[in-house]
Every structure is written in structure tokens, then in C-alpha cells.
């Protein structure tokens, strides 16, 4: 990852004091895209911006900017990191769903609210991440990946079912949705992303699956 910094004074020499920061953000992103890089984070006046902060700071004009820094990464490196990150995280997420569903059945909902909240947040993040990844990879590559569209629809529908059961306090139904529907969706994504990794990086999917499973396949059989 590379880091760049420019002072507000230097920016005003290139633009003007009345130029909105949004224009500078856009110019930086376009220049990096032309060089097959992406912005990972902007830092304005020493403040590290989260994605949701960018729209607020975009309205600033350059007369209010003392310094602008940004972190950039090669597009390919970033995509490979996102794919590998999910491949590493999904087995742990599935194990946690197994535990959560068992605890909902045996202990009830009383002490499981944090687990349910984490499950919802993680699954929503997976959905948004898959949409972003699809946009970056392009429909050409995705078209050759089996079950991508089905996994998107399955995960969204399963999460919707989990939210409905949670709001209705139907915790037995919630346990079933977590145990079977959401877990099946995550397993689908794991296999899909291993196929994406193979198509994008050349790492054979079976080699990745062999390393993950070891001598025992963790695939769970439903009752």
C-alpha cells in the first residue's frame, strides 16, 4: 500500500480555494484508476475518513483544507485480498452459526442477542461486499462462475427470513434459518469465492479446498 500527502496550499495552486474537495477526490480516483489502482482511504486535516464520512467532507472547499493524504493499492492486490479474506473468514462464520443455532435451541434467546446481532451484521456485510466485488470483477468473469446469482438471492432471502423471525420473536424458526438456510448460503459463497480466486489468480480451487479441509471435509450434513 502506498501513501501520498499534499498540502492545502499546493492544492490551491492547482485548483482554487473555492474548489470542493469532492472534485479533488474524483480526480485522484480517476488518475489512480487509469493506473490500475484504487483509493483505500482519504485523510483530511489528519482525520482518517471512513466511507460514510466522505460525503460530509466532500462539501469542504480547499480553503478549509490544510492537508490531504490518501492510501492507494493496486486494484489486483486489493481484489485478491478481499477474496482471500472472505475465504479465510467464511469457515469461522459457519462454525459460529452452528454454535448460535444450538444455543438458541438449548438456552433460548436470552443470552444470544449479541450473537444474533453479529450474525446479521456479518451477513449484510457479505452481501454488500459481493455486490461491490461483482461490480469490480465485471459480468464477464462472473458469468463463468457457477451459482453466483443463486448465492446472492439465497443469502438475501435467508437473511430476510432471519430478520423476520427475530422481530416476531420466533426463535425456534430463527434457529432453523441460521442452522440450515444461512449456513448453506455461506457454504455456497465459500465454494464460489474459491472458484473466483482460481479464475482471477490461477490458484486451483481444489488446492484451496484441500488446504482448508485437510483430511476431514467439514461439510455438515443436515438432519
Write down the mean pLDDT value for the chain.
Answer: 85
Helix axes 183-201, 75-106, angle to 10 degrees: 160
Instruction: Read off the pLDDT band of 166 (50, 70, 90).
Output: confident
User: What distance in Å separates the CA atoms of residue 70 and residue 209, rounded to the nearest whole number?
Assistant: 36
pTM of the model: 0.69
Judged against a pLDDT cut of 50, whether residue 219 lies above it is answered with no
pLDDT band at residue 220 using 50, 70 and 90 as cut-offs: very low
Task: Return the domain boundaries, the chain.
Answer: 2-65, 77-213
Mean pLDDT across 169-195: 91
- Nearest CA among 58, 153, 158, 170 for reference residue 105: 170
Per-residue pLDDT tens over the stretch 56-67 = 888 899 999 999
Q: Which residues pair with 68 in a beta bridge?
A: 6, 44
pLDDT band at 217 (very low <50, low <70, confident <90, very high): very low
Calpha distance 220→161 (Å, rounded)? 21
Give the pLDDT of residue 145: 80
pLDDT band, residue 138 (cuts 50/70/90): confident
Which cell is 71 given? 492510501
What is the average per-residue pLDDT within 123-145? 83
Give 179's DSSP letter: I
Partners of 70 in the beta sheet?
Answer: 4, 42
74 to 40, 170, 210: CA distances (angstroms): 10, 46, 29
Q: Which bin fits 49, alpha (ψ -120 to 50), beta or left (φ > 0)? A: beta
User: Mean per-residue pLDDT for 117-136?
Assistant: 87
Residue 135, C-alpha cell as written in the block: 461490480
pLDDT digits (tens, 9 = 90+) for 197-209: 888 777 666 665 5
Question: pLDDT tens, 19-52?
Answer: 999 999 999 999 998 888 888 889 999 999 987 7
In this structure, the strands spanning 47-48 and 2-7 are unpaired
Where is mean pLDDT largest: 11-20, 73-82, 97-106, 163-172?
A: 11-20
Helix (H) or strand (E) holding 42: strand 37-44
CA–CA separation, 170 and 83 (whole Å): 34
- Give the Cα separation of 44 and 12 in Å (integer): 15
CA 193 to chain centre: 12
Q: Given a cut of 60, is residue 214 above it in pLDDT?
A: no
Contacts of 39 (CB under 8 A, 6+ apart): 25, 28, 29, 32, 70, 71, 72
pLDDT band at 211 (very low <50, low <70, confident <90, very high): low
Amino acid at each position: 500500500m502506498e501513501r501520498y500527502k499534499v498540502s492545502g496550499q499546493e492544492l490551491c495552486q492547482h485548483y482554487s480555494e473555492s474548489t470542493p474537495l469532492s472534485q479533488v477526490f474524483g480526480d485522484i480516483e480517476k488518475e489512480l484508476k487509469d493506473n490500475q489502482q484504487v483509493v483505500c482511504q482519504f485523510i483530511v486535516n489528519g482525520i482518517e475518513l471512513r466511507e460514510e464520512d466522505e460525503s460530509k467532507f466532500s462539501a469542504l472547499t480547499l480553503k478549509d483544507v490544510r492537508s490531504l493524504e490518501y492510501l492507494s493499492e493496486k486494484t489486483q492486490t486489493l481484489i485478491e485480498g478481499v477474496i482471500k479474506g472472505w475465504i479465510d473468514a467464511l469457515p469461522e462464520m459457519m462454525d459460529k452459526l452452528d454454535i448460535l443455532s444450538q444455543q438458541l435451541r438449548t438456552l433460548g434467546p436470552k443470552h444470544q442477542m449479541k450473537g444474533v446481532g453479529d450474525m446479521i451484521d456479518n451477513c449484510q456485510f457479505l452481501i454488500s461486499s459481493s455486490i461491490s466485488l461483482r461490480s469490480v470483477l465485471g459480468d464477464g468473469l462472473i458469468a463463468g462462475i457457477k451459482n453466483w446469482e443463486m448465492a446472492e438471492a439465497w443469502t438475501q432471502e435467508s437473511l430476510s427470513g432471519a430478520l423476520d423471525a427475530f422481530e416476531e420473536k420466533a426463535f425456534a424458526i430463527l434457529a432453523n434459518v441460521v442452522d440450515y438456510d444461512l449456513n448453506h448460503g455461506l457454504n455456497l459463497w465459500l465454494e464460489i469465492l474459491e472458484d473466483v480466486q482460481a479464475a482471477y489468480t490461477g490458484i486451483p480451487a481444489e488446492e484451496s479446498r484441500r488446504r482448508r479441509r485437510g483430511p476431514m471435509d467439514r461439510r455438515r450434513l443436515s438432519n
